[in-house]
Amino acid sequence: MAMTTNGLSNKIIRSFIRRVNSPTHSPTPPRFQTTQKNQTTTIFAPQTPKPLQTVTNNNNNNNVTNEETHDTIFDFEDTKGLFSSVTTGKLLRSAANLNLAAVEPVVDLGMWVMRSKAMEVGLFKDVVLGTIKHTSYEHFVAGADMEETGQTVKKLWESGLRGMLDYGLEHAVDNESCDLNADQFVNTVEATQSLPPTSVSFVVVKITAICPISLLKRVSDLLRWEYKNPSSTKLPWKLKTLPIFAETSPFYHTLVEPSPLTSEEQHDLELAHQRLVNICNKSIECNVPVVIDAEDTSIQPGIDYFTYSAAVMYNKGEKPLVSGTIQAYLKDAGERLYETKKAADKMGLPVGFKLVRGAYMWSESKLANSLGVDSPIHNSISETHDCYNGCASFMLDEVSNGPGGLILATHNLESGKSLRLLCFRLLRFLLIGKCLV
């Protein structure tokens, strides 16, 4: 067995080894190579399949093949087949947008222009916004409203792809804004009913859009303090949840004991929780699962609290309705993933995760440096890749032998190749299992 260990919890490593040594489990996949490309895979385990067989990765052949029939599933070098539904013009614009977005001075210039007083001049503003709309906005945004977004989703669906609806709302400051945002999330879920069946895999929710950011920080501080001082800290408002921290989690955000929530803050917390409940209830009605995004570590404990308390309420049977997000660039990602999954197993809950690398490197490092503490982010990109691939392999192994869900937002071609092969093998065994029932 070859596997990666950097940045992973020893508990995950032991879990891998225990399963590999079991007569009913085969070795975990080989070490992954890394490049930077976009790739996203979603998989759920509706029932317990037969065990996965050994997976090999031939670096000289990019075909993903069913070993029994030798049928090619994917050829990542077949660009004609992969992009046949996209016009040449759109491919060129996409390449230009992505290359420009990778040039830091260009990004800095764009931010400076958007914040400058020149944007108060009508003609200048129209020119800038028009340029943005037909470049980066067109590339990264599905639509300005549900009608435009629906057209994009339908085009993806006609190409054999499913969409995740992510309404661009975050960092609300008061209850009025949170109420409006929650209504928009409910409307987004409801709008999936007018789209082709199965064309939408998830609706994405940001907790910072439905809970005031100041309250999330307070809740996160109290949760951190409770974890470090369990005997002396009482949180009467706390709902049943899953593990939020690991021993390696960053706690430097909370250096002194925070005061308890006031009655007004507790009331606001109940309102925020009810907003999430309303979204989840609509998701049940429309049969569309919800995935909750991760954000920066200062408020992530509060976000995980909302996520896992909702999971305890709504995740039943084999398929999770509410999934959380794990950021693999964090040093504690592997241990937190393991602890949460094992706790959910003990409670009989199907738990789902979106696995990403992370998007707050600059702000996380800046805060850690200002406090004179180690950054919560891995020291190198290779450690982040290793953590991501190890966490993904662990969860794929878990969902192949029980309930749960995994969304692989890899943004990495080599991870996508290796993990997608495992996904197709898993699906194959699931289908065989169904036929045998």
Note whether residue 5 is domain-resident. no
Q: What is the reported pLDDT for 431?
A: 52
Note whether residue 1 is domain-resident. no
pLDDT band, residue 361 (cuts 50/70/90): very high
Q: What is the reported pLDDT for 19?
A: 39
| 65 has a pLDDT exceeding 90 | no
Q: What is the reported pLDDT for 144?
A: 86
Same domain, yes or no, for 193 and 333?
yes
Q: What percent of the chain has pLDDT over 70?
A: 78
Choose among 286, 111, 132: nearest CA to 201.
286
What are the C-alpha distances in Å from 139 to residues 132, 152, 277?
Answer: 10, 11, 32
Rounded distance, CA 255 to CA 80, Å? 56
Which residues are CB-neighbours of 96 under 8 A, at least 6 positions away?
Answer: 135
Q: What is the reported pLDDT for 18?
A: 37
Q: Residue 66's domain is classified under what CATH number?
A: 3.20.20
Average pLDDT over residues 116-136: 89
Residue with the bigger pLDDT between 139 and 45: it is 139
The two three-digit tokens of residue 284, written as one number: 């049940």
pLDDT band, residue 313 (cuts 50/70/90): very high
Average pLDDT over residues 40-67: 37
- For the ranges 57-61, 118-122, 147-151, 271-275, the lowest mean pLDDT is seen at 57-61
End-to-end alpha carbon distance in the chain: 32
Same domain, yes or no, for 290 and 176?
yes
Note whether residue 401 is domain-resident. yes
| 69 has a pLDDT exceeding 50 | no
Number of domains in the chain: 2
- Of 140, 158, 176, the domain-final residue: 158
Q: What is the reported pLDDT for 401?
A: 83
Q: Which domain holds residue 44?
A: 10-83+162-436
The two three-digit tokens of residue 102, written as one number: 């990778």
Which residues are CB-neighbours of 333 under 8 A, at least 6 positions away?
Answer: 7, 326, 327, 387, 391
Same domain, yes or no, for 281 and 318?
yes
Same domain, yes or no, for 351 and 245?
yes
- For the ranges 22-36, 63-77, 120-134, 390-404, the lowest mean pLDDT is seen at 22-36
Average pLDDT over residues 98-120: 89
Residue with the bigger pLDDT between 269 and 389: it is 269
Q: Are 186 and 278 in contact (CB under 8 A)?
A: yes
Average per-residue pLDDT in the chain?
82
The two three-digit tokens of residue 222, written as one number: 């109290």
Rounded distance, CA 237 to CA 29, Å? 43
Q: What percent of the chain has pLDDT over 90?
A: 56
Same domain, yes or no, for 136 and 206?
no
Rounded distance, CA 125 to CA 27, Å? 58
Q: What is the reported pLDDT for 84?
A: 82
Same domain, yes or no, for 301 and 385?
yes
- For the ranges 28-32, 313-317, 410-414, the lowest mean pLDDT is seen at 28-32
Note whether residue 223 is domain-resident. yes
Q: What is the per-residue pLDDT across 336-351, written as a single tens digit (0 to 9) for each?
A: 999 999 999 999 999 9
- Of 123, 158, 193, the domain-final residue: 158
Note whether residue 275 is domain-resident. yes
Q: What is the reported pLDDT for 284?
A: 97
Note whether residue 2 is domain-resident. no
Average pLDDT over residues 267-293: 98
Note whether residue 22 is domain-resident. yes
Residue with the bigger pLDDT between 245 and 417: it is 245
Same domain, yes or no, for 130 and 229?
no
Average pLDDT over residues 270-297: 97
Q: What is the per-residue pLDDT across 170-222, written as a single tens digit (0 to 9) for each?
A: 889 999 999 999 999 999 999 999 999 889 999 999 999 999 999 999 999 99
Note whether residue 187 is domain-resident. yes
Choose among 382, 391, 327, 388: nearest CA to 359.
327
| 11 has a pLDDT exceeding 70 | no
Same domain, yes or no, for 320 and 262?
yes
- Of 158, 186, 210, the domain-final residue: 158
Q: What is the reported pLDDT for 85?
A: 80
Same domain, yes or no, for 17 and 120?
no
Same domain, yes or no, for 189 and 272?
yes
Same domain, yes or no, for 359 and 236?
yes
Phi-psi region of 411 (alpha: psi -120 to 50; beta: other; left: phi over 0): left
Three-state SS string across the chain, please? Answer: CCCCCCCCCHHHHHHHHHHHHCCCCCCCCCCCCCCCCCCEEEEECCCCCCCCCCCCCCCCCCEEECCCCCCEEEECCCHHHHCCCCCHHHHHHHHHHHHHHCCHHHHHHHHHHHHCHHHHCHHHHHHHHHHHHHHHHHHHCCCCCHHHHHHHHHHHHHCCCCEEEECCCCCCCCHHHHHHHHHHHHHHHHHHHHCCCCCEEEEEECHHHCCCHHHHHHHHHHHHHHHHCCCCCCCCCCCCCCCCCCCCCCCCCCCCCCCCCCHHHHHHHHHHHHHHHHHHHHHHHHCCCEEECCCCCCCHHHHHHHHHHHHHHHCECCECCEEEEEECCECCHHHHHHHHHHHHHHHCCCCEEEEECCCCHHHHHHHHHHHCCCCCECCCHHHHHHHHHHHHHHHHHHHCCCCCEEEEECCCHHHHHHHHHHHHHHHHHHHHHHHHC
- As beta bridge partners, residue 206 has none
Q: What is the reported pLDDT for 161?
A: 86
Same domain, yes or no, for 96 and 77?
no
Q: What is the per-residue pLDDT across 23-52, written as a single tens digit (0 to 9) for each?
A: 333 333 333 233 333 334 333 333 333 333
| 77 has a pLDDT exceeding 90 | no
Q: How many CB atoms neighbour CB 28 within 10 A?
A: 23
pLDDT band, residue 430 (cuts 50/70/90): low
| 307 has a pLDDT exceeding 70 | yes
